[in-house]
Structure 1
Amino acid sequence: MDFAKPLPGYLVQRYQGWKATTYAENQGWYRRLATEGQRPRAMVISCCDSRVHVTSIFGADQGEFFIHRNIANLVPPYAPDGDHHGTSATVEYAVSVLKVSHLMVLGHSQCGGVQGCIDMCKGHAPELEAKESFVGRWMDILRPKYEQVADISDEAEQASALERQSVLASLTNLMSFPFVSEAVKDGSLSLHGLWTDIGAGGLEYYDPKAGRFVEV
């Protein structure tokens, strides 16, 4: 496997710095996590976007969040068809094995995946329409929600609205998983829809009573 290369030097230096400081000061905690296993109280499904730093937003420590990241923080509908389903497998493990109490879907501003969905819906992204486009086929999950924002003329407002719709689509799809819906109904699991503004550092949550996202 000669195509695999050593770590870049700057990453090696950062690791060594972490090992000498953060790890050295908390060795007992790390060893406890290793020997006793993980018991996260919450799962977070967020976008892969490097600007979204879930643990920083909530000040979370190691072992606190079970995190899954994908393009546009999407959850596909329940489909036990024998194919590979990374997101679905993660949800199953979090709910059925780890027994998390909270499952949060976190969307964000300036999401490239959501913009790609908009471009597809407007016929501006033939490369994403191609059958072999993994991104395009993934964004098909969100595509039906475009109808909710199609009449918004301002492009920035339209994208922001669809980013929030991506969160709602994922919440809806989560409830199609039998083990999720059962846990929600018996009160052992709660679902939460969140959206963060990267530039402003803002955070909103979906309020079912108001029927919209409101500031935290």
Structure 2
Amino acid sequence: MDLLAIPPLQRTLVQAVVACFEPRVEVLAAVVVGSLAKGKADRVSDVDVLFMVEPGFHRDGQPCIDRFLAGREVFHCWQGAHGNQGYYWRYIFYDFTSIEIHLIDVNAEFPLARPYLPLFDKTSCIHALEVDGPAPSHWDFPAYMAEGDGLVWELFDCLKWAERGQRGLVRHHLRKLLAEMDKDPNIVDRD
């Protein structure tokens, strides 16, 4: 699969984010994963991009993110860490496109399952991350991620699944989500 097989709106996001990160010498490689890499993307599929970076550069990636965001209207952003060896940013834009940008230290134990679409690999490091077995499934996604900080993203995923007619997946995830929310002592029901 090549970049031209990616739907136009998502291809534009991929090209823009790569243009912001690839010139940096600390950024060693990039791959697209998820539905885009599987060739199953549709209008509401998110872009999942993993950048393998020199150790510690994940903490210095914000200027690249800011360049990528210039001129884009952000509806929602959720960011967090992959332990001490990576950061991620998840953006939903007002045009209903969305992107996950992951900066992962090249020496991190971060499993990369096939299929994935290599975007560039300056040091031939992608293959070292590859693991056997299937890629993560939406059915296995955790619910109420980051103690609720991921709630908007999760509900957006449910909207996308509903639009595709995947009602069983929506029901499955909402049940998990509600079960986790019921455990949150910070949620107060009001009459």
Q: TM-score when scaled to structure 2?
A: 0.24
Q: TM-score when scaled to structure 1?
A: 0.22
Greater fraction strand: 2
**Pair member with larger Rg:** 1
